[in-house]
Amino acid sequence: MKRFTLYLLMAFTIVLMSACSHDTTPNEESNEESNKESKEKSVSNVPVKIPDDIFVSNKKNENISEDEMKASIKKYMDYSHVLDKEMEKIVYLYENATESDKEKLHKLIDEGEKNDANFNDFISHNNIPDDYKEPSKTIYEFVSSIRETLTQFEDEVAGMVENGSLSDISNFASEHFTKANGRQQLKIEKFLDMKNIKTTYFDE
């Protein structure tokens, strides 16, 4: 359950931090301003690496063997894990993130979206083993839903905080964690164990 708990904590930590930042008093704002430069420097100096081993496949309407399915799932999930670990470096410090940091985050999210789209095309447009069809779809929905939550965070959650509509955050969470939750994670982990697919995705 490590993975889902981590992302749920990330999302609501950011929301609370953003909400608190809008409730500061003038003195607090003054103190924050005095520390702004050093905070921004520390965030902008966080090294962010965009890995280059994205999942790619040009196959269409082909019969996919079980060995290739295992390798494809591993590659897709491992790459997602590396991307997400890089995102965490910025997301955890989002309150003090510079524009440069946000640009890095957007690049990571873009790569994740490409990774998701490539894997979805692969499992949708090829003949994969029957016992991999539903689990592969579940894996894609889980991983891509977490990515979508990060992608929409700034527009939706930050807007709610800005407008004081904090009650809407529960609706946001309910919508975006429908396909990425602890129950789905357990199903995926059980499938991976059964098929002996070793991935770092659920590692801390």
Range of the domain at 44: 2-194
Q: Is residue 134 part of a domain?
A: yes
Q: Is residue 204 part of a domain?
A: no
Q: Is residue 126 part of a domain?
A: yes
Q: Is residue 177 part of a domain?
A: yes
**Bridge-partner residues for 127, per DSSP?**
63
**How far is it between the farthest Cα atoms of the chain?**
66
Average pLDDT over residues 114-129: 97
Q: Is residue 199 part of a domain?
A: no
Question: How many structural domains comprise the chain?
Answer: 1
Q: What percent of the chain has pLDDT over 90?
A: 36
Tokens of residue 140, six digits:
């894609």
Q: What separation in angstroms does the CA of 126 have from each of 61, 66, 68, 137?
A: 4, 13, 12, 13
pTM, two decimals, is 0.74
Question: What is the pLDDT, as a whole number, of residue 55?
Answer: 95
Q: Is residue 179 part of a domain?
A: yes
Q: Is residue 202 part of a domain?
A: no
Place of tokens 């992302």: 7
Question: What does the pLDDT look like over 21-33, one tens digit per residue?
Answer: 544 444 544 455 5
Question: What is the pLDDT, as a whole number, of residue 25?
Answer: 47
Rounded-to-integer distance, Cα 137 and Cα 140, Å: 5
Q: Is residue 203 part of a domain?
A: no
CB half-sphere exposure, 121, CA atoms < 13 A:
12
Q: With contact defined as beta carbons under 8 Å apart, do 158 and 190 qualify?
A: no
